[in-house]
Homo-oligomer: A and B are copies of this chain.
Amino acid sequence: MFAEAEADPSLSKDEFKPLEARLRVALLNAQYRRLEKADKTLMIVIAGIDGAGKGATVNQLNEWMDPRHIKTLAYGPAEGEELERPPFWRYWKDLPPKGRTGIVFGSWYAPLIIEAASKKPNQEYIAAHSAAILRFEAMLAAEGVQVLKLWFHLSAKAQTDRAQRLLASPETSWQVSPVDLKVAKRFDRIRNGAQIVLNHTDSGHAPWVVIPSADENMRATRTAEAVLAAMRQRGVPRIPASFHAHSSPTRIVDQLGQLDYNAKIDKDDYESELGLLQGRLARAARSRKFLDRSLILVFEGQDAAGKGGAIRRITHALDARQFDITPVSAPNSYELSRPYLWRFWRHLPRHGRVAIFDRSWYGRVLVERVEKLIAPAQWRRAYAEINDFEEQLAASGAIVLKFWLAITPDVQLERFKEREKSPFKNFKITPDDWRNREKWKDYSAAANEMLARTDVAHAPWHLVSANDKRYARVQVLRHIVQAMEDQL
């Protein structure tokens, strides 16, 4: 894998000049074609031996292409609020839109390579993190984010020689970092660790390319060639199913049909229970232990099922600084130019906070499925992607609870009519609502499949009978309070 690079091949100035001219023109043209089509993002992961010229490559790419459409994304060890979200959060939130290019330093490979190059690598960690990366990259590829991974490599001798040459003059000595000087002693470990990581994570849709880096001309040429090849690639490559997150087969039951829709609570009991539950919620949310956790609440259900009212009963118990409500409707153009989960990754709460989603990423397997806004393969894939997403949320300390507020068609009709009549509620009813109502069965089938496929221990669904609004509100609060009291 590294044989060619460790032979330290070089290109003379005479060989390089015509190549450079040709590659620069081709790169610019390819870049503009992608900007125009705007159907894919390109993420160029920069990794490799320290002192192989990774930093210089950023300058090269910015000089050879139109830098206005390239974003350099550089990350150090996770810190501050990054530690309060899943490890992939910082990469998700910074994804450039389709048509654009991102250059990634300190990518999701950095911790993996450090581990693999350590004296006693933790094989379990390597296997788990590699698998997580494969799922991440498969999802990106399927959603139009192309990942190209460059490993800058050279022989141990060339690495040392380069550092010594630079150190010899005060005009260049500053280019050598303390890390560069430590490479020589650990070269074999880094090399072998990298080999394992690259083998684990090479794929047709997110390939590794080794760049011989001892010679600047060679490095620049091979980098440009790799980027050019990636930019010219059309369409989404076939992604073997084994790369995707997947869920086990599930029996789909008509859960919505089997619910008891007559459940109710009388008004006095309601007032009292509501107050007591809100008090418990307020205490849990103010507790010291919640400072290391977060709460993510997802609300789905038929139109007019009472999501807004239930949400207000929750926020009433919380400090305004502590919660954030994200109402979810059709994605705007800004959001459509990224993978569908992107807009939700951006709203993940910090520790000690509550994120409430009024509709959510489940739109993927509900409205987008039923209204045929996406291909069947896309929503079929989404169950496992969503499970994977929520597993990451739970692993980062979030308590994830999902509510389906369920009503019957007759109650919906009643509420629609009431909304139409009320001068201050009629904004809540639109022609869409009436149209959706005609597809009641399709939505119910989609909801039943969703409930079956995504009801997981780390992010359970609660199916709540909501023909009686008060009953539903108390149930929702009770589930939240129980989960928080259990887990804190």
* Interfacial residues, chain A to chain B (CB-CB below 8 A): 21, 24-25, 28, 32, 54-56, 58-59, 62-64, 66-68, 72, 74-76, 80-81, 105-106, 169-175, 271-272, 274-276, 278-279, 282-283, 308, 312, 315-317, 319-322, 324-325, 327, 329, 334, 423-424, 427
Contact = CB atoms under 8 A, between A and B. Distances in A.
Contacts of A68: 327, 329
15 contacts: A25-B423, A55-B316, A55-B319, A58-B315, A59-B312, A64-B424, A67-B308, A67-B325, A68-B327, A76-B321, A80-B81, A81-B81, A170-B276, A171-B275, A172-B275
Q: How many copies does the complex hold?
A: 2
B81 A174 contact: no
Contacts of A24: 423-424
Contacts of A74: 319-322
Contact of A75 (B56, B62, B321): B321
Given A63-B312, A67-B308, A308-B67, A170 B321 contact: no
Given A59-B312, A74-B320, A171-B275, 11 more contacts: A28-B424, A55-B320, A67-B308, A72-B325, A74-B321, A171-B272, A171-B274, A171-B276, A173-B279, A174-B282, A175-B282
B171 A72 contact: no
Contact of A67 (B63, B67, B327): B327
Contacts of A75: 321
Contact of A279 (B170, B276, B315): B170
A316 to B, nearest CB: 6
Nearest to A60: B312
Given A63-B312, A321-B105, A334-B334, A25 B55 contact: no
Nearest to A174: B279
Nearest to A280: B174
Contacts of A275: 169-172
Contacts of A62: 312, 325
A59 B279 contact: no
Contacts of A276: 170-171
Contacts of A63: 308, 312
A25 B325 contact: no
Contacts of A282: 174-175
A320 B72 contact: yes
Contacts of A324: 72
A80 B83 CA distance: 13
A316 B59 contact: yes
Contact of A174 (B58, B67, B317, B423): B317
Given A171-B279, A272-B171, A427 B28 contact: yes
Residue among A54, A59, A74, A174 with the highest chain B CB neighbour number at 10 A: A174
Contacts of A334: 334
Nearest to A273: B171
A59 B272 contact: no
Given A174-B279, A308-B67, A327-B68, A423 B59 contact: no
A12 to B, nearest CB: 21
Contacts of A76: 321
Contacts of A427: 28, 32, 66
Contacts of A283: 174
A451 B324 CA distance: 44
B58 A320 contact: yes
A316 B424 contact: no
A141 to B, nearest CB: 25
Nearest to A20: B424
Nearest to A76: B321
Contacts of A274: 171
A54 B312 CA distance: 15
A338 to B, nearest CB: 15
Contact of A424 (B21, B55, B278): B21
A153 B171 CA distance: 67
A347 to B, nearest CB: 12
A336 to B, nearest CB: 14
A313 to B, nearest CB: 9
